[in-house]
Amino acid sequence: MLADEVKERIQSAYRQLLESRELTPRYGQRQMIAEIANTLASIDSNNNSEPPVCVVEAGTGTGKTLAYLLAVLPVAQELGCKVVIATATVALQEQVILKDIPELLKGSDLDFSVALAKGRGRYLCLSKLDMLLAGNDSMQAMMDLYGEEPDDLGSGDLALYENMLKELGAGNWKGDRDAWKEPIADANWRPLTVDRYQCTGSNCSNFRNCCFYQARNSLDKVDCIVSNHDLVLTDLAMGGGIILPDPEKSIYIFDEAHHLPFKSNNHFSAYTRIKASLVWLERCESLLLQLAKEKLIEASQQHTLQKIILALRSHSDEAWSLFQQTLGSLERLDNYGNQPQYAYDLGIVPEAVRNVATNLSAEYARITNGLQDIASDLRQTMDEGEDLHKTRLAEQWYPILGTNTDRAEANRVLWSSYAKEDPESGAPNARWLSFIENDAGLDISLSSSPVLAAENLQERLWRCCAGAVLTSATLSALGEFDMLRLRAGLPKHTHYLSIPSPFNFGVAATLVVPKMNCEPSDNEKHTKLIVNSLPRLLSEDSAALMLFSSRRQMLDVMQGLPRKWLSRVLCQDDYQKAQLLKYHRHRIDQGEQSVIFGLASFAEGVDLLGKYCTHVLIAKIPFAVPNDPIEMTLSAWIELQGQNAFMTLAVPEAAFRLVQASGRLLRSETDSGRITLFDERIINRRYGKAILNSMPPYRKEIFEEELTLDSSL
């Protein structure tokens, strides 16, 4: 039960915030605050009960960020817990740290400290900066040292690097990429960073001034940490408490929480390429020869690891032959991500593949252990520092050894997945091959991924945290939280609340479904109907967003448009997202017409308020790509459980995505406009009606207009 003093702090802070900003209380916002605070009140300081989890779907306009801040921070301070806010996008992260938290601190008597947590890759490495500025010889040495290809390293902008050094020395910059005065191109930033395997930590000569560790140390001193999903998952995968505070003493808030299961799957997936790994093994052999030459390893260590490399080559050749046989035996291949692929049914690989994978897994485990032993010896040499020459050599070789150890471990994880049989009690892993042709010839990549994040999140998060809050504008599908519960493995005691948006949908927006007499599966006719209708549909709208489910159709529609109309289109393939939105707003401000053509990434996280978007057009009900190997495997497993995969997975996911896509229209209470859906299935299919009923209560115009191939509307 929520302590009276905590309840009073929350209520008082809310009143103060409303008064300071001259706001009217929102019923949904008060609901959200109460639900979260009451759920987290069950946190047991003695850790004798299950961590509470609260899921709140809060429609656009609820004011969810301030709601969860007001609800969680007083509870966390009372319990002595840290608050870790994780967003899925940089835009929301910046909004929380730069706008919402300052407003709360300024407008109420709540007193808490806050810091922004980022991954190592967002911070400059001082040692690498030194090497880059040392000249061409140092540049080449760094390529050799860090195992980077010249193309990956880039030529770099020495004037930029000198400016960075100057700003660091003056104390005007702390090495944070996002805090630099202008955007930094990837080609210029990549040479400045290291990963955790390359970093020598306290043994680095620049450790005391290290940009990353200085930022990391500040996290232990603050009440609230603003991070992102990826960094939280990275920390949990490492055991928790490595980068961020201990999970048992942390209350996590996952904003944009619908991304969490998919990001979790990515973090616990594995991947390798056979030919590329063989090339890497040659480099690894050269590394061992150099380490032996420098007397950093014993000859016996070198010989042992060389034998393992020979075994790995032999087993890799065997695997290559097996997969080439698979390729030759197939009548056709699926295509996913512009690559031919073959997904194993239910992730079950043939026994011959499993046998060679067992051998490869064992040998990669041996070489990983061997490289880790060498790394430990080098670290001991650096710690002792008795022989200055040998210490410097250890400092030079440690980073590249770490990179090779990481690659060996990644291969071990992949081959271990192919070697094992999934337990019958749970969902399988998806396993698939992709066939890659480039200038170097054919390569075969192997991938493995969980199909559900449930097991990993249960083991590493829901059972280990002090408490958790998941929120987003859209979390349910078809009015239920079943999809989120399935994919994220949420515990049975989870509290769920859905708060509708305060917007007057029936007055502000019209959902139009024109009569097309055409199934979207008839790609040619469906595309021509869209092309014919757009000039008429958009004749009175200066700002529109057209969303497609496939890049092919988006490009076909562009090709079919009259030239004068094509000039009004901004296509996502032609610009970076932020740049495209900037151009779009500029056109509207100049009184010109502007239409954005975008794919799934434009169906969420795009805020075009007021005049910047008055019409959202959606080509099709956004069903998932049918040949995604992860979704294919999950669907097959769902069918095996006696359920209909289409109704259990595809329809709820499509409903969820359609709500998100249509939600691009109304971003504030004063917005208004139209939504046009070029898909009759939402009316004439049973599942379509279920999808339609799950959408906000827009005013509807169904089949009031008819599209033809001969003329416009």
pLDDT of residue 46: 53
Per the annotation, binding residues for [4Fe-4S] cluster are 125, 199, 204, 210
In 325-457, which ranges are E strands? 334-336, 339-343, 429-438, 441-450
Tally of residues, the chain: 713
**Predicted confidence (pLDDT) at residue 466 exceeds the cutoff of 90:** yes
**In the predicted model, what is the mean pLDDT of residues 314-334?**
84
pLDDT of residue 149: 45
- Residues forming a β-bridge with 473: none
**Residue 664 vs residue 118, higher pLDDT:** 664
Cβ–Cβ contacts within 10 Å for residue 660, how many?
19
Q: Where are the domains of the chain?
A: 4-113+222-265+454-499, 120-216, 271-447, 505-706
Per the annotation, binding residues are 125, 199, 204, 210
**Residue 440 vs residue 46, higher pLDDT:** 440
Both tokens assigned to 512: 């139009």
Nearest to 564, CA basis, from 524, 585, 593? 593
Same CATH fold assignment for domains 4-113+222-265+454-499 and 505-706: yes
């400290």: which residue's tokens? 113
Q: Do residues 516 and 680 touch, judged by C-beta distance below 8 A?
A: yes
Poorest-pLDDT segment among 100-114, 445-459, 539-553, 638-652: 539-553
* CATH superfamily of the domain spanning 505-706: P-loop containing nucleotide triphosphate hydrolases (3.40.50.300)
pTM of the shown model: 0.90
Helix (H, G, I), strand (E, B) or coil at 255: strand
**Predicted confidence (pLDDT) at residue 337 exceeds the cutoff of 80:** no
pLDDT of residue 4: 87
**Which of 70-74, 242-246, 627-631 is modeled with the greatest confidence?**
70-74
DSSP-derived secondary structure for 5-28: HHHHHHHHHHHHHHHHHT----HH
The architecture that CATH gives domain 4-113+222-265+454-499 is 3-Layer(aba) Sandwich (3.40)
pLDDT of residue 333: 66
Both tokens assigned to 517: 């007499």
pLDDT of residue 154: 44
Question: How would residue 145 be classed by pLDDT, with cut points 50, 70 and 90?
Answer: very low
**Predicted confidence (pLDDT) at residue 382 exceeds the cutoff of 90:** no
Dump pLDDT digits (tens) for 157-215.
889 999 999 999 999 999 999 889 898 988 899 888 888 777 878 878 788 889 988 88
């999950």: which residue's tokens? 634
Positive or negative, the CA dihedral 676, 677, 682, 683 is positive
